[in-house]
Amino acid sequence: MSVQERKERERADRERLILATARELAEQHGWDAVTTRRLAERIEYSQPVLYSHFRGKREIIGAVALEGAAEMAAAVRAAASVADGPRARVTALARAYLDFAARNPAVYDAMFQLDGGLAFAKADTPEPLKDAFAALLESLGVVAGDGVHPELFTEVFWAALHGLATLARAGRLPPEDTERRTELLVDRLAVL
């Protein structure tokens, strides 16, 4: 029994190593640099080993995305919890979201720009994704305003944050005004 347990443990360790290495490689040199050959070399195994853990590269991206969703949910909740009052909470949430996207561009790409084979807004949506949306909903739902469905409001707010995050990262928005854009968004969208 103990032998089998050890093997399972080692296998789980290796899976974590694959994901951590893929993520590191992606953050350092972009997802294009994350090839199965390079990834295999970094973990000091041959390519086919990757395919005994994941169906393919897409599934590796998807796994990194799920990790990222869990981290983002935690970051958003942590930021919101230390703020006083709805307004400060929403501002903190927005800053935390944009900060996460800026600090983990490759992970954010895995979540939203790349195809990780994940289902969204459906019944079979993975739990971390649903929970990340729930984390937004917790703070945003209370400032949706009268007669506005909290989910719908959260979707719109989220979309705005997502737009700011992606356009900023792609160099499509001047970097110096990030804070002012965030404040404008919160001031206008949230009903306080």
Partner DNA sequence: TCGATTGTCTAGCGGTGCTAGGATCGAATC
Partner DNA sequence: GATTCGATCCTAGCACCGCTAGACAATCGA
Interface residues with a copy of itself (CB under 8 A) are 112-113, 119-122, 148, 152-153, 155-156, 158-164, 166-167, 170-174, 177, 180-181, 184-185, 188-189
Task: Assess contact for 154 and 136: CB atoms under 8 A.
Answer: yes
> How does DSSP assign 146-190, residue by residue?
TT--HHHHHHHHHHHHHHHHHHHHTT-S-GGGHHHHHHHHHHHH-
CB of 52 to a copy of itself, least distance (A): 26
Partner interacting with residue 74 (select from DNA, a copy of itself, none; CB below 5-8 Å by kind): none
Q: Is 45 in the site for DNA (CB under 7 A)?
A: yes
Choose which of 37, 119, 127, 149 interacts with DNA (CB under 7 A). 37
**Residue 154, number of CB atoms within 10 A of its CB:** 21
Say how many residues touch DNA, by CB under 7 A: 20
Integer-rounded Cα Rg, in Å, for the chain is 19
Angle 150-169/85-103 helices, nearest 10 degrees?
40
Cβ closest to DNA, residue 38 vs residue 87: 38
Q: Is 7 in the site for DNA (CB under 7 A)?
A: yes
Q: How many whole angstroms separate alpha carbon 130 and alpha carbon 10? A: 30
Angle 57-81/2-29 helices, nearest 10 degrees?
80
Cβ closest to a copy of itself, residue 21 vs residue 109: 109
CB of 52 to DNA, least distance (A): 6
The footprint of DNA (CB under 7 A) covers: 3-4, 7, 11, 34-38, 45-49, 51-52, 55-58
